[in-house]
Amino acid sequence: MKLKQMQIIQGGEKPTGFRRKKDQSSHTQSTGMSAIWKEVCIRQLEQRLRAERENVNLKKSCEMEMQVVKILRKLLYRHPSQRDIMYLGENTRTRRIEIPTGCLKQMAALIFDDLSIGVENSYRIAEFSGRN
- Condensed to tens digits (0 to 9), the pLDDT of residues 94-111 reads 666 777 777 888 888 899
63 or 2: which leads in pLDDT: 63
Tens-digit pLDDT profile for residues 7-40: 676 665 444 544 444 444 444 566 777 888 899 9
- Torsion angle in degrees (nearest 10) through CA of 75, 81, 83, 86: 120
Between 22 and 54, where is the model more confident?
A: 54
Nearest in space to 9 (alpha carbons), one of 33, 45, 53, 48? 45
Spatial separation of the C-alpha atoms in residues 126 and 120, rounded to whole Å: 10
Angle, alpha carbons 11-17-21 (nearest 5°) = 40
This prediction has a pTM of: 0.38
pLDDT of 74 = 84
Q: How confident is the model at residue 73 (pLDDT cuts 50, 70, 90)?
A: confident
What mean pLDDT is predicted for residues 108-123?
92
Q: 88 versus 122: which is more confidently predicted?
A: 122
Could you tell me if 23 and 11 are in contact, meaning their C-beta atoms sit under 8 angstroms apart?
no
pLDDT of residue 80: 67
